[in-house]
Amino acid sequence: MKNFTPLKIATTIWLIFFLGISFSLSQEEKLSPTLERGIGLYKHENFDEALDVLKKARDEDPTSTLAAYYLGLDYKQLQNYKMAIPNLRDAVTYTPKIKGALIELIDCLYNYSELEEAHKWIGEAEREGIRPAQIAFLKGLILVKEEKNSEAIAAFEKAKELDHAMEQASNYQIGIARIKSKEYTSAEKAFEEVVSSDPSSNLAKYANQYVEAINRRQEAMKPFRFSFRTAWEYDDNVVLKPESDVVGTNITDDADWRTVYTTSAEYNKRITDRFGIKAQHLFYFAKQNDLGFYDTLSNTVVVQPNFYFENDVLTVPVTYTHTIVDERSYLSTPTISGIYSHMLGEKYMGQVYLKYNNKNFLWTPSTPDEDRDSNGLETGAGWYAFFAKRQGFLNLRYGFDREWTKGQNWEYLGNHLNATVLIPYKEKLNLALSGGVFFQDFVNTHTVFNEKRDDTIYTTAALVTYKVCKNSEFQLQYTHVQADSNVDIYEYRRNIYSVGMEVKF
């Protein structure tokens, strides 16, 4: 050690330091003007202009990992993941490796759904200990996409343990994974944690929307539901007085007020993923103010099996309705239907149906030809378009029906066209508009009027509802009916005005 004096040692250290700086400077000098310009454009967010420059830099030096890295980043910013992947792959494969490129590569592979390769690079990142929290989070995202929800939740839990700054984002993704696993209560808790950690953030806003959706779903999936509605209605043609006075009907009292009460008690249970059952009782009572003869009471019982498929639902409602008019049994109607609904993406639904009913009128007809007891078949199709986050919809429907009656005067062929639109406004206020036309062609020559009857019935309605609180709403409704016929006695006009309140439990 005698040859190494302090001066020589200091000189040696200075020389090594100087050579290190010189080496670093020489490395920086290797940064080509093209690549330097491309990186500058990228950092100033001129991504389109940077693209051509960075592509040129890669052509000049295909093995430059820095050029590959920035070109991959630029493609990623332009959301061209297909082109970003090979460049970022080169950045972590060639020498010297750019470790930061590994995170970007995994993210691009996730967005491009190249999940198998993404797992490969996640394994390498875990072995090298590169940004463990971020890698755990990306791993969770990939596992969610693979429907491996329990493993994904474990990855997100690890991410927030490793880095508390990732807690809100991890809880948000845990909530989504819980929803996919149909663990709605746990999902709601995760989203509530997102909101409580930073109520003013965008993630908190999205989490609140999920919480609201979960609450709506839980409300809809309650097995027992009950509703009560009362309304006051003014009907300007209770008795369906003909439009023309030439028939000699001499009807003078045709308008009246009435009070209407309706209730609905429902049990709805999803027994398995593929099958559910619904049972319902509906009660209706209308008490006329003056025309007591038209007081009406009806009870309806529904038993409806539901069959669920991936994008389809088949329902088979079996219904029985018994109607009393003026305190006497008037009509008995059993019905069975099949309704098949198919979702077309998130916004559209198609529907076809077939229905059979038997009408048994319990009052004795005036003549055998006026006997309206019947068997009827109806078939049709409908189309729905949903909007306003599926809170509103447009429905178009066509139906064809055939009714065979005991009496000659009532057998007919019918065609129905209907349209309905529900327009939500600021959550509490809804407007529903509907219109329909029913073309009714009677099969036989009328025994009294000596011609085949041909009716066209137009119906329009408007309903405004306002949610007073969570379980109750105020309702305003107007309905207009216009019946045109080649037989004058069956022509009439009718307007119904209604104010009501409904409470749901």
Q: Between the CA atoms of 141, 391, 438 and 297, what dihedral angle is there, to the nearest 10 degrees?
A: 120
Task: Find the largest Cα–Cα distance for the chain.
Answer: 140
Is residue 93 located within the same domain as residue 22? no
The rounded distance, in Å, linking the Cα atoms of 233 and 352 is 34
Is residue 34 located within the same domain as residue 96? yes
Higher-confidence residue of 340 and 214: namely 340
Answer yes or no: is pLDDT of 219 > 60.
yes
In this prediction, residue 252 carries a pLDDT of 53
Total domain count, the chain? 3
The fraction of the chain above a pLDDT of 70, given in percent, is 92
Is residue 46 located within the same domain as residue 76? yes
Is residue 102 located within the same domain as residue 72? yes
Residue 64 lies in a domain: yes
In this prediction, residue 30 carries a pLDDT of 67
Is residue 232 located within the same domain as residue 94? no
In this prediction, residue 212 carries a pLDDT of 85
Q: What is the DSSP string of 439-473?
A: EEEEEEE-TTT-SEEEEEEEEEEEEEEEEEETTEE
Residue 330 lies in a domain: no
Is residue 186 located within the same domain as residue 59? yes
Task: Establish how many alpha carbons lie within 13 A of residue 189's alpha carbon, considering only the half-sphere containing its beta carbon.
Answer: 5
Answer yes or no: is pLDDT of 53 > 80.
yes
pLDDT band at 337 (very low <50, low <70, confident <90, very high): very high
Answer yes or no: is pLDDT of 463 > 60.
yes
Q: What is the DSSP string of 167-228?
A: HHHHHHHHHHHHHHTT-HHHHHHHHHHHHHH-TTSHHHHHHHHHHHHHHHHHHHT-SEEEEE
Structure tokens given for 122: 């996640």
Structure tokens given for 351: 């529907």
pLDDT tens-digit series, residues 137-146: 999 999 999 9
The rounded distance, in Å, linking the Cα atoms of 222 and 414 is 38
Is residue 184 located within the same domain as residue 70? yes
Is residue 82 located within the same domain as residue 148? yes
The fraction of the chain above a pLDDT of 90, given in percent, is 78
In this prediction, residue 253 carries a pLDDT of 59
Q: Look up residue 369 and give its DSSP letter.
A: G
Residue 292 lies in a domain: no
Residue 40 lies in a domain: yes
Structure tokens given for 396: 């178009």
Residue 303 lies in a domain: no
Query: pTM value?
Result: 0.67
23-27, 179-183, 432-436 — which is least confidently predicted? 23-27
CA 162 from centroid of its chain's CA atoms:
36
Is residue 144 located within the same domain as residue 243? no
Residue 137 lies in a domain: yes
- For 276, the domain range is 224-280+342-353+366-504
Task: Using CB atoms within 10 Å of the CB of residue 14, give its burial: 0 to 12 exposed, 13 to 18 middle, 19+ buried.
Answer: exposed
Answer yes or no: is pLDDT of 203 > 80.
yes
The rounded distance, in Å, linking the Cα atoms of 148 and 396 is 40
Mean pLDDT of the chain: 90
The rounded distance, in Å, linking the Cα atoms of 397 and 345 is 19
Is residue 348 located within the same domain as residue 253? yes
pLDDT band at 215 (very low <50, low <70, confident <90, very high): confident
Nearest-CA neighbor of 228 among 282, 301, 298, 289? 282
Residue 400, number of CB atoms within 10 A of its CB: 14
Instruction: Kindly state the average pLDDT of the residues 101-105.
Output: 94
Task: Establish how many alpha carbons lie within 13 A of residue 208's alpha carbon, considering only the half-sphere containing its beta carbon.
Answer: 11
Answer yes or no: is pLDDT of 39 > 90.
yes
Which residues are CB-contacts of 364 (< 8 A; sequence separation ≥ 6)?
Answer: none
Say if residues 299 and 321 touch (Cβ distance below 8 Å). yes
Answer yes or no: is pLDDT of 377 > 80.
yes
Is residue 111 located within the same domain as residue 256? no
In this prediction, residue 270 carries a pLDDT of 87
Residue 325 lies in a domain: no
Q: Tokens 């009870």 belong to which residue?
A: 299
Is residue 389 located within the same domain as residue 472? yes
Q: What CATH number is associated with residue 84?
A: 1.25.40.10
Cα distances from 264 to residues 224, 284, 461, in angstroms, run 11, 9, 22
The rounded distance, in Å, linking the Cα atoms of 160 and 157 is 5
CA 301 from centroid of its chain's CA atoms:
29
Structure tokens given for 430: 């809804």
Residue 298 lies in a domain: no
